[in-house]
Amino acid sequence: MIETHRWTASDGIKLAYHQTGEGDPVVLLHGLFSNADTNWIKYGHAATIAAAGLRVIMPDLRAHGQSAAPRDAASYPHGILARDLEELISHLGLLPGEYDLGGFSLGARTTVNAVGQGLQPRRAVLAGMGLSGLTGWEERQQFFLGAVDRFDVAKRGDPDFMAVSFMKTMRIDREAARHMLPSFTDAKAQWLDAFAMPTAVVCGVEDRDNGDPQALVDALPDAQLFEIPGTHMSSVTHGELGQSIAKFLSRPT
């Protein structure tokens, strides 16, 4: 059973998170232009992880899913998604070292930002991510900003067609997305150094959208690579995503 809860960030923005299972908490963040349902619930990953004895908490990030998507630039200061995450963890009463934390793509980027700013999960999961996706965000950001601007003109065969199609399917507010995308910066070396906890890097064998996952493993103090089927988009549909996360989080610490 999936429970949906609402809470309010410190700047008054209404946000949502979804929850299933009982046991030790794990917070999982979805990817760009996606939501908790599409990334974690629809294809059974949340159920798989919950069956391993975990309480799975899945926020809809600001400007995504059932969370508000304000259209003013002031609602998207640098690092806002990491700040929302920090506030949610405080709101839930989760203490350092007593919860796990991870995310897919944008969720992984937010996880790295938040850990770099001081969050201390017991274990971490970075899915759909390679090293250059973290350290080269400025270039990647320009691609997505271009897709937002080409929302009405992109056609099949264009490099940004899939991104635009996904935005349309997910009913993304373009104005909110335009403000949200620049709220990220390239990951700093000290953010990666902060990953003293065991970390799983989970990535599709055909997924290099965010660079080489092995390079990310090599850049982290205590990381292991889990390869699963699929591309960046299709890996979310394969059961191995949830199975790999459940296997990693079920190991004794």
pLDDT tens sequence for the chain (253 residues): 999 999 999 999 999 999 999 999 999 999 999 999 999 999 999 999 999 999 999 999 999 999 999 999 999 999 999 999 999 999 999 999 999 999 999 999 999 999 999 999 999 999 999 999 999 988 888 999 899 999 889 899 998 899 999 999 999 999 999 999 999 999 999 999 999 999 999 999 999 999 999 999 999 999 999 999 999 999 999 999 999 999 999 987 6
Q: Which helix (H) or strand (E) holds 5?
A: strand 3-8
239: nearest Cα among 81, 58, 99, 40: 40
Tokens of 129: 């991510």
Backbone angles phi, psi at 235, to 5 degrees: -60, -25
CATH class of 3-135+185-249: alpha beta
Check: CB of residue 30 under 8 Å from CB of residue 60: yes
pLDDT at 140: 86
Report which residue type is found at 13: I
pLDDT at 41: 98
202: nearest Cα among 187, 217, 188, 189: 217
9: nearest Cα among 75, 84, 121: 84
In angstroms, the Cα distances linking 97 to 23, 45, 121, 201, 253 are 15, 23, 5, 19, 11
pLDDT at 253: 65
Check: CB of residue 28 under 8 Å from CB of residue 125: yes
Bridge partners, 203 (sequence order) = 227
pLDDT at 139: 83
Cβ neighbours of 209 (radius 10 Å) = 18
Tokens of 25: 């908490």
Domain ranges of the chain: 3-135+185-249
Check: CB of residue 28 under 8 Å from CB of residue 52: no
Residue 163 C-alpha from the chain's centroid: 16
The overall pTM is greater than 0.85: yes
HEC sequence for 78-143: CCHHHHHHHHHHHHCCCCCCCCEEEEECHHHHHHHHHHHCCCCCCCEEEECCCHHHHHCHHHHHHH
Tokens of 69: 């998507």
Bridge partners, 228 (sequence order) = 204
193: nearest Cα among 118, 84, 82: 118
**Signed CA dihedral, 172, 201, 182, 76: sign only:** positive
